[in-house]
Structure 1
Amino acid sequence: MSALPFGRATATEAELFTLSLWQLVKEDWIAHGRDWTKPGFRAVAVHRFGVWTMKIKSKFVRAPFSILYKMLFRKVRNTYGIELPFTVQLGRRVIIEHQGGIVIHGYASIGDESIIRQGVTLGNRYLNRPFDAPKLGKRVNVGAGAKIFGDITVGDDVNIGANAVVLSNVPARATAVGIPAKIINSDNHHKFDIGEVSQL
């Protein structure tokens, strides 16, 4: 597969923990075309702020930031229709294209440089298993209106077609389309061009 334009390693949990809020948000801003007015960038920035807030050990120091985060989260959700809780494990340089009807389960994970579009839902499949949530790998391209349900894994470099309903694991480098989604290509060689991220 062709190298990504960023020229840097993908994130690990430890790396995300050590990077500053400013570094992560700057990457997100660049990935969103250096446009701070984009709803997707604002949603991701609020998510980063929420994660940063919850790292503050002192509950007295954390309290005002927590209140601010909750206000911003609700503002983004109600204004742009993007629900992205701080509990989501969000990789670096994830892009949210457009807005409206985007719901991400609080226990979902989204890998580096993935793209989420309008109308996408990542959620649980069964009422008696409310904590089940999808895990998306790196560079996953999710089409508009796609739904991904349950404790499933979507591999790296996967394309999910518009309005697809994904209910089972998708292997790396595959394309999945339809309701329920079926694999139509298991050796996908696409790459993303979502902007160049400068060295921080």
Structure 2
Amino acid sequence: MKLFSLLREDLLAARSQDPAATSTAEVALLYSGVHALWMYRLTHVLWQRPGTKGIARLLSQVTRTFTGIGIHPGASIGHRLFIDHGTGVVVGETAVIGDDVVIYQGVTLGGKATNEKMRHPSIGNRVMLGSGAKVLGPVTIGSDSAVGANAVVVTDIPGGAIAVGIPAHWRFRGAKEAVPRDVFIDPVLLT
């Protein structure tokens, strides 16, 4: 997909996800989440080219200063991400974000170790990350899941689940009880 088409898709996703948006022009001009995502798209291209990683990091830092949203150029972000009220959002270098994800303010997709190749979370498709949620380390959040506000996730969450608490515990949507923290979930089921 060409970069221009991807940027337009980001714009339309934000417009459709935010009921407060009154026009596409408003979203394009005033939404810091869209601006940060657009700059990420540019810096990600630079990050992948030899000799331009420094420029990519510089531009990402300038963007963070203006938007309050820090997205490392090395992260992998799918289509139609919407960052709503994005101040304080942090996305680490090895983070992977799927399609149609919604991220609210204060969310951190952070690392726990400095010597592992994959240090940050992998987020599936159609996931909602509530305000202040912290997803730490090389964990997987399965598709069609939600992470509640201020939850701290340090273990894998399967698809179709809701995670809340510190540390987060989860239950499948519609279930009345949380699954105990020591229950093993096969990672193959998380996608």
Q: Same fold (TM over 0.5)?
A: yes
Q: In 1, Cα distance between the equivalents of 2:120 and 2:126?
A: 18
Does the CA-based 8 Å contact 1:172-1:186 persist in structure 2?
no
Give TM-score scaled by structure 1 length.
0.74
Paired position in structure 1 for 2:31: 38
Distance 1:126 1:72, change over 3 A: closer
User: How big is the shift at 1:72?
Assistant: 3.6
SS in 2 for 1:96: strand
SS in 1 for 2:60: helix
Q: Deviations over 1:7-55 (max 9, x none)?
A: xxxxxxxxxxxx1110110100111113112000001100111123345
Structure 1 counterpart of 2:82, from 70, 74, 95: 95
Does the CA-based 8 Å contact 2:43-2:59 persist in structure 1?
no
After superposition, the CA RMSD in angstroms is 2.2
* Structure 1 segment 179-190 matched on structure 2, within 5 A: 179-186=166-173
Q: Comparing 124-133 with 164-173, which one deviates more in the overlay?
A: 124-133
User: 1:25 is matched by which residue type in structure 2?
Assistant: L
Equivalences, count:
164
Does the CA-based 8 Å contact 1:124-1:130 persist in structure 2?
no
Does the CA-based 8 Å contact 1:87-1:106 persist in structure 2?
yes
Does the CA-based 8 Å contact 1:173-1:187 persist in structure 2?
no
Distance 1:177 1:93, change over 3 A: same
Q: In 2, Cα distance between the equivalents of 1:42 and 1:52?
A: 16
Q: In 1, Cα distance between the equivalents of 2:113 and 2:49?
A: 34
Q: Deviations over 1:63-85 (max 9, x none)?
A: 5x974x55542222112211101
| Unmatched runs of 5 consecutive residues or more in structure 1 | 1-18, 189-200
* Structure 1 segment 135-174 matched on structure 2, within 5 A: 135-174=122-161
